[in-house]
């Protein structure tokens, strides 16, 4: 594990973690780029506000608080070197970890969790075999998590609280994971970098431009969709509504017909995973930006009425 601390324009302690999976180079490249561009510790706020002599736009909005910190972490170095997802165990299934474990990732999970202890906001970078759009994942909707998910440039966030309890976002408070794009693509690096800047802005760590927030649709993750064998077919894209009675995916073993309304795929992929086509999710509502109502998931009002009106018009 490599930890690189950088200065912050604000008072929050925030962290960005790349390289949790060794075969996802985007996160590592994004963290390195941020390490190059952010100011050293103790030099933070001044630099990010501009030096006041070159571009003239450097408006200093507020006091610089030296308590703030941006911690950049490259997590699983042996797996990154080997270009493999993990060496002994999947790190993102190994939390909270065990410092005494003989399994490399289980011991690393404990060290990584310790590096993130007490942080105000954490963003974990991932890529996938699935098609766009990028999306975020949370397990516990703290005020910090609300700020992150409504501040990231994503339309959807997956509520993973009903899924595994061994991931980084389910064990380290105030953590959001983000799937920034297709594994190995340049688009994933570019999008992920911009997403990190948005994350740093909404938590006050950089002051290059004002943060922006938007309502984010919450999809509760429910169950994995198993894959059997033979030629795989996936018929619906991520977050695309699967009509009641339609087949989401099939192969020689399975025909996965969806028998209820409101189901959408998450991480849908024909060949990305050996044993699953992806996951089923259910749209539960929206999270509103900070300052707009309470910190909870608001059901999407009038969705049923709109459907009925639409049917009547046909
Ligand atoms: Zn990953």
Among positive and negative, which fits the CA dihedral 30, 31, 33, 37? positive
Tell me how far the alpha carbon of residue 176 lies from the centroid of ligand 1, in angstroms.
Answer: 13
Range list of β-strands (E), the chain: 2-6, 13-18, 69-74, 121-128, 135-138, 156-159, 175-182, 216-226, 233-234, 247-250, 255-257, 263-266, 276-287, 297-298
Q: How far apart are the first and last CA of the chain?
A: 59
Instruction: Give the length of the chain.
Output: 314
Among positive and negative, which fits the CA dihedral 38, 42, 46, 51? negative
Please state, for a pLDDT cut of 70, what percent of the chain lies above it. Answer: 88
Tell me how far the alpha carbon of residue 128 lies from the centroid of ligand 1, in angstroms.
Answer: 7
User: Domains (ranges, CATH) in the chain?
Assistant: 2-214 (3.40.630.10), 217-313 (no CATH)
CA 261, distance to chain mean position in Å, is 26
Tell me how far the alpha carbon of residue 87 lies from the centroid of ligand 1, in angstroms.
Answer: 14
Tell me how far the alpha carbon of residue 23 lies from the centroid of ligand 1, in angstroms.
Answer: 8
Tell me how far the alpha carbon of residue 22 lies from the centroid of ligand 1, in angstroms.
Answer: 8
Tell me how far the alpha carbon of residue 111 lies from the centroid of ligand 1, in angstroms.
Answer: 18
Tell me how far the alpha carbon of residue 38 lies from the centroid of ligand 1, in angstroms.
Answer: 24
Q: Has residue 47 got a pLDDT over 50?
A: no
Tell me how far the alpha carbon of residue 183 lies from the centroid of ligand 1, in angstroms.
Answer: 9
Tell me how far the alpha carbon of residue 66 lies from the centroid of ligand 1, in angstroms.
Answer: 32
Tell me how far the alpha carbon of residue 304 lies from the centroid of ligand 1, in angstroms.
Answer: 36
Tell me how far the alpha carbon of residue 209 lies from the centroid of ligand 1, in angstroms.
Answer: 29
Q: Has residue 95 got a pLDDT over 60?
A: yes
Task: Please report the pLDDT score of residue 129 as a whole number.
Answer: 87
Q: Read off the pLDDT of residues 239-296 as tens digits, 9 standing for 90 and up.
A: 999 999 999 999 999 999 999 988 999 999 998 888 999 999 999 999 999 999 999 9
Q: Read off the pLDDT of residues 203-236 as tens digits, 9 standing for 90 and up.
A: 999 999 999 999 999 999 989 999 999 999 999 9
Q: Which of 93, 81, 78, 73 is nearest to 30 (CA)?
A: 73
Tell me how far the alpha carbon of residue 237 lies from the centroid of ligand 1, in angstroms.
Answer: 19
Tell me how far the alpha carbon of residue 224 lies from the centroid of ligand 1, in angstroms.
Answer: 17
Tell me how far the alpha carbon of residue 279 lies from the centroid of ligand 1, in angstroms.
Answer: 15
Q: Has residue 46 got a pLDDT over 90?
A: no
């Amino acid at each position: 594990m490599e930890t690189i601390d950088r200065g912050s324009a604000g008072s929050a302690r925030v962290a960005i973690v790349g390289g949790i999976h060794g075969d996802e180079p985007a996160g590592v490249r994004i963290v390195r780029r941020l390490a190059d561009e952010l100011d050293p510790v103790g030099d933070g706020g001044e630099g990010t506000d501009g030096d006041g002599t070159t571009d003239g736009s450097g408006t200093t909005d507020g006091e610089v608080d030296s308590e703030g910190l941006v911690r950049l972490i490259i997590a699983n170095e042996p797996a990154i070197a080997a270009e493999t997802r993990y060496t002994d165990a999947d790190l993102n299934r190994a939390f909270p970890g065990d410092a005494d474990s003989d399994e490399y990732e289980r011991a690393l999970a404990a060290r990584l969790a310790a590096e993130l202890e007490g942080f105000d906001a954490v963003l974990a970078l991932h890529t996938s075999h699935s098609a766009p759009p990028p999306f975020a994942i949370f397990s516990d909707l703290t005020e910090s998590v609300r700020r992150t998910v409504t501040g990231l440039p994503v339309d959807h966030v997956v509520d993973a609280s009903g899924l595994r309890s061994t991931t980084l976002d389910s064990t380290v408070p105030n953590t959001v994971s983000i799937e920034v794009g297709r594994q190995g693509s340049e688009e994933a690096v570019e999008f992920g970098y911009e997403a990190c800047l948005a994350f740093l802005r909404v938590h006050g760590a950089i002051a290059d431009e004002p943060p922006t927030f938007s309502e984010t649709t919450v999809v509760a993750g429910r169950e994995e969709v198993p894959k059997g064998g033979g030629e795989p077919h996936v018929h619906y894209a991520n977050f695309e509504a699967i009509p009641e009675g339609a087949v989401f995916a099939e192969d020689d073993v399975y025909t996965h017909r969806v028998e209820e309304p409101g189901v959408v795929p998450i991480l849908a992929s024909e060949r990305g995973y050996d044993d699953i086509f992806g996951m089923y999710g259910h749209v539960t509502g929206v999270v509103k930006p900070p300052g707009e109502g309470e910190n909870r998931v608001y059901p999407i009002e009038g969705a049923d009425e709109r459907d009925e009106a639409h049917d009547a018009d046909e």
